[in-house]
């Protein structure tokens, strides 16, 4: 078939490369990240409010600014009561009213704490938990309604481990200096927030100890982040009666009474849910009430006085990430609006900022990437024909979402009342979302539902619906520039598209079939060959030192590393397909089209980052750090060597026979 270029107009294109982003004193084959991004990094020093700032964040800030302008343009005089404009405008005004927030102090929080204080026996805990979950707190575990991994057409209840809030289970368990420091800072935050919430000094000490004891117990039995990557190992479909036996101290039937007809559910991790009952049995009622109170406080801190948010920032912002100051209030307010009325804002956003032409060009790009990936699958020498056939069927079945949903969410039943406190309105929004989630129980999965707002700078692959989604906000420079040359667009947004596509075939996604069901569609030999190739990437990234003596986690980041490496391969082939029968475009900026492709890719990951955030992301983020998404992925790509004349004399050089190609 004939493949179209993503530039369908006849206007001259602009260069997708800004030479000021480069550091030409660096050697491309020794540190391509520095070579491609050194200029950008020097011109974008970290501001106090950031722990990391990159091109993703830069575009994110642009989106936040755009959303702010949309919100502030909503005239109060024209906002009819009950309209979306009234809800957005009033909630934003409540978030910005620091005088009222500080004047209210702990008053908005007290009714929620008093509910816990009135618990007289452990038998009453279940009913309190039911209210807490509906109000946005999540003690002991988390639960949600979504597709059954083994029958993706129907929504079921999922219960997963949780209930600890330091950021990662390892922070409670490891004895390195960094983890010890975090535990100290976490306890300091606990004591400060309990004190602000009206607890006496004696109660504050006891409450902090109780929280740490309970959360540490939950962390000890929790699955590691690496273990959570295996969808089969985290699927345990059991009956409600079996759940009652597994963890009898909670009346699960009462907790889930809103789910009419609940018979079976998936418990992702059995041991942590069993541990909850042991904790309730072995812990005093008073300590359990302290723990529940902490869950209420922690879920409310962002919507109370400045003292609360400042105390929380000391741990989550400074200690955990290395930030120096909080984000400006208006930016936090915009984030709240996105969380509460995201699609309502998104509808306004795309009308102003997302032209139909961008969607058309993206559809062409996606089609070209699908064709290229299909070609690569057909030519894989390590995969047998039967697995190839099913892989191609899965690729052809991709559900593609670009820009914004075809049907917008209805916020008619959400009430925002400026006479109530900020926290009360947030709880109303959380309850609205909770009821929306519950309404999906035992219903067919809506494959047209979006899991991101259009104004979000990101993209995703969802295995349950076998879909790839690209919100409007990411379809802007440096990711996608309709006026730029094709090589740059394929190197940037093209690789992002290829990245999301190949998530359907990474170490997790490959275990789901074309219909989104966990299903072993691979032959045993092909699965073995895949794992052997994937292990090459695991070992390569395990050897990377991210800071001091801390190594990258190749197993935890495997899925994203496969998607980066394969996304590059697929997008490069898609771009080459557009050149068939044509002359290679000549550039007037000193770079070849191939160099444009790889420089554009590297620019996507340009950024500066604090040491504390390096440690945090290495522990928490399944993506490799930006530097290694470039310097870790490109040495596996033959075309990169050719484009920049990389030889065995260069530090990034990997002998051809040791490079890995998966997709």
Strands 545-547 and 460-462: unpaired
Residues 281, 362 within the same domain: no
Element (H, E) at 385: helix 385-396
Instruction: Please tell me whether residues 151 and 266 are part of one structural domain.
Output: yes
Under the banding of pLDDT at 50, 70 and 90, the label for residue 442 is very high
d(CA 89, CA 250) in angstroms, rounded, equals: 41
Is the pLDDT reported for residue 354 higher than 90?
yes
CA distance 65 to 488: 26
Quick one: which of 472, 476, 481 has its CA closest to 9?
481
Q: Is residue 507 part of a domain?
A: yes
**4/647: higher pLDDT:** 647
CA count, 13 A, side-chain hemisphere, 534: 19
Structure tokens at 54: 């990159």
**Segment 332-351, tens digit of pLDDT:** 999 999 999 999 999 999 99
431 within domain boundaries:
no
- Say yes or no: 206 and 267 in one domain: yes
Q: Beta strand pairing status for 151-161 and 264-267?
A: parallel
pLDDT tens per residue across span 543-553: 999 999 999 99
How many angstroms separate the CA atoms of 540 and 553, rounded?
Answer: 10
* Alpha-carbon span 61 to 55, nearest angstrom: 10
pLDDT at 622: 97
- Average pLDDT of the residues in 251-272: 96
pLDDT tens figures, 52-99 = 999 999 999 999 999 999 999 986 767 889 999 999 999 999 999 999
Same domain, 361 and 270: no
- Mark whether 295 and 392 lie in a shared domain: no
Tell whether the torsion through CA atoms of 41, 47, 53 and 58 is positive or negative. Answer: negative
Residues 368 and 295 in one domain: no
Q: Mark residue 516 as left, alpha or beta (left: phi above 0; alpha: psi -120 to 50; beta: remaining).
A: left
In this prediction, residues 405-430 reach a mean pLDDT of 97
Query: Cα torsion for 23, 26, 27, 30, to the nearest 10°?
Result: -120
Classify residue 471: in a domain, yes or no.
Answer: no
In this predicted structure, the answer to whether residue 574 has a pLDDT above a threshold of 90 is yes
Q: What is the DSSP letter of 175?
A: -
Q: Assess whether pLDDT exceeds 80 at residue 585.
A: no
CATH of residue 286: 1.10.1380.10
At residue 251 the predicted structure's pLDDT band, cuts being 50, 70 and 90, is very high
Q: What share of the chain has pLDDT > 90, as a percent?
A: 92
CA distance 207 to 229: 34
Confidence band for 593, pLDDT divided at 50, 70 and 90: very high
Do 505 and 360 fall into the same domain?
A: yes
Which residues have C-beta within 8 Å of that of residue 124, sequence separation ≥ 6? none
Residue 242's H or E segment, with its range, is helix 240-246
**For residue 106, is it within any domain?**
no
* pLDDT over 90 (residue 584): no
Co-location of 266 and 362 in the same domain: no
Token pair of 166 as six digits: 């330091």
Q: Would residue 146 count as lying in a domain?
A: yes
In this prediction, residue 639 has a pLDDT band, given cuts at 50, 70 and 90, of: very high
In a domain, residue 144? The reply is yes
So what's the pLDDT on residue 12?
A: 45
3-state class of 663 per DSSP? coil
Q: Give tens-digit pLDDT for 302-315.
A: 999 999 999 999 99
User: Which range of residues forms the domain containing residue 495?
Assistant: 20-49+356-399+479-658
Asked whether residue 319 is assigned to any structural domain, the reply reads no
End-to-end CA distance of the chain: 21
Q: How many Cα atoms within 13 Å fall on the side-chain side of residue 45? A: 1
Question: How far apart, in whole angstroms, are the C-alpha atoms of residue 53 and residue 41?
Answer: 9
Segment 582-589 mean pLDDT: 79
Strands (E), 235-306: 237-239, 264-267
The mean per-residue pLDDT over the stretch 454-465 comes to 97
Say what the pLDDT of residue 358 is.
87
DSSP character at residue 234: T
The total number of residues written for the chain in this structure: 663
Q: Which residue has the tokens 């900022």?
A: 353
Residue 27 maps to which CATH number? 3.40.390.10
CB contact burial 137-146 (16+ within 10 A = b; e otherwise): bbbbbebebb
**Can you give the pLDDT at residue 586?**
75
Task: For residues 376 and 661, give the distance between their C-alpha atoms in angstroms, rounded to a whole number.
Answer: 10
Name the domain count of the chain. Answer: 2
Whether residues 182 and 292 fall in one domain: yes
In a domain, 522, yes or no: yes
Instruction: Tell me: do 387 and 295 sit in the same domain.
Output: no
Same domain (yes/no): 292, 364: no
- Among candidates 346, 623, 618, which has minimal Cα distance to 457? 346
Domain match, 260 and 371 both: no
Angstrom CA distances, 551 to 183, 320, 555, 615, stand at 22, 18, 12, 10
574/578 Cα distance (integer angstroms): 7
């Amino acid at each position: 078939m004939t493949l179209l270029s993503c530039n369908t107009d006849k206007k001259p294109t602009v260069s997708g490369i800004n030479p000021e982003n480069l550091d030409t004193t660096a050697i491309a084959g020794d540190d391509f990240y520095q070579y491609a991004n050194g200029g950008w990094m020097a011109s974008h020093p970290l501001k106090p409010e950031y722990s990391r700032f990159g091109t993703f964040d830069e575009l994110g800030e642009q989106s936040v600014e755009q959303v702010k302008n949309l919100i502030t343009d909503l005239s109060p005089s024209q906002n009819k009561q009950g309209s979306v404009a009234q809800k957005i405008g009033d909630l934003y005004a409540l978030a910005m009213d620091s005088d009222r927030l500080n004047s209210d102090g702990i008053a908005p929080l007290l009714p929620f704490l008093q509910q816990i204080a009135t618990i007289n026996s452990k038998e009453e805990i279940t009913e309190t938990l039911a209210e807490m979950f509906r109000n946005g707190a999540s003690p002991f575990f988390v639960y949600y309604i979504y597709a059954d991994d083994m029958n993706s057409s129907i929504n079921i209840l999922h219960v997963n481990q949780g209930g600890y809030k330091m950021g990662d289970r390892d922070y409670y368990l490891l004895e390195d200096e960094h983890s010890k420091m975090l535990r100290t800072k976490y306890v300091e935050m606990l004591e400060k927030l309990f004190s602000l919430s009206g607890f006496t000094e004696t109660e504050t000490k006891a409450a902090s100890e109780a929280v740490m004891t309970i959360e540490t117990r939950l962390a000890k039995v929790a699955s590691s982040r690496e273990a959570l990557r295996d969808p089969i190992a985290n699927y345990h479909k059991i009956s409600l009666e079996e759940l009652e036996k597994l963890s009898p101290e909670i009346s699960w039937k009462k907790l889930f009474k809103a789910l009419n007809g609940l018979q079976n559910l998936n418990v992702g991790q059995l041991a942590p849910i069993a541990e909850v009952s042991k904790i309730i049995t072995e812990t005093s009622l008073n300590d359990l009430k302290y723990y529940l109170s902490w869950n209420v406080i922690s879920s409310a801190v962002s919507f109370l006085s400045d003292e609360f948010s400042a105390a929380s920032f000391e741990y989550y912002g400074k200690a955990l990430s290395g930030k120096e100051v909080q984000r400006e209030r208006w930016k936090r307010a915009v984030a709240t609006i996105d969380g509460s009325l995201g699609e309502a804002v998104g509808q306004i956003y795309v009308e102003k900022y997302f032209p139909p032409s961008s969607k058309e060009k993206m559809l062409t790009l996606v089609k070209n990437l699908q064709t290229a990936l299909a070609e690569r699958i057909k030519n894989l020498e390590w995969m047998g024909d039967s697995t190839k056939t099913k892989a191609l069927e899965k690729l052809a079945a991709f559900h593609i979402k670009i820009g914004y949903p075809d049907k917008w969410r209805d916020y008619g039943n959400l009430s925002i009342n400026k006479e109530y406190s900020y926290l009360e309105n947030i709880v109303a929004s959380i309850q609205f979302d909770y009821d929306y989630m519950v309404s999906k129980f035992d219903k067919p999965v809506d494959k047209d539902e979006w899991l991101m707002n259009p104004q979000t700078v990101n993209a995703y692959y969802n295995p349950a619906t076998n879909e790839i989604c690209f919100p409007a906000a990411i379809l802007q420079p440096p990711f996608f520039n309709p006026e730029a040359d094709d090589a740059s667009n394929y190197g940037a947004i093209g690789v992002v598209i290829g990245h999301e596509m190949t998530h359907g075939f990474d170490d997790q996604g490959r275990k789901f079939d074309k219909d989104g069901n966990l299903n072993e569609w691979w032959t045993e030999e092909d699965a073995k060959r895949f794992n052997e190739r994937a292990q090459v990437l695991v070992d390569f990234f395990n050897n990377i030192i991210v800071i001091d003596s801390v190594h990258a986690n190749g197993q935890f980041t495997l899925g994203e590393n496969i998607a980066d490496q394969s996304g590059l391969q697929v997008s490069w082939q898609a771009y080459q397909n557009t050149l068939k029968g044509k002359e290679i475009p000549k550039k007037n900026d000193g770079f070849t089209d191939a160099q444009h492709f790889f420089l554009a890719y590297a620019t996507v990951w340009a950024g500066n980052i604090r040491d504390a955030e390096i440690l945090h992301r290495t522990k928490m983020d399944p993506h490799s750090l930006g530097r290694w998404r470039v310097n870790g992925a490109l040495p596996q790509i033959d075309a990169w060597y050719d484009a920049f004349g990389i030889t065995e004399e260069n530090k990034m050089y990997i002998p051809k026979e040791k490079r890995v190609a998966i997709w």
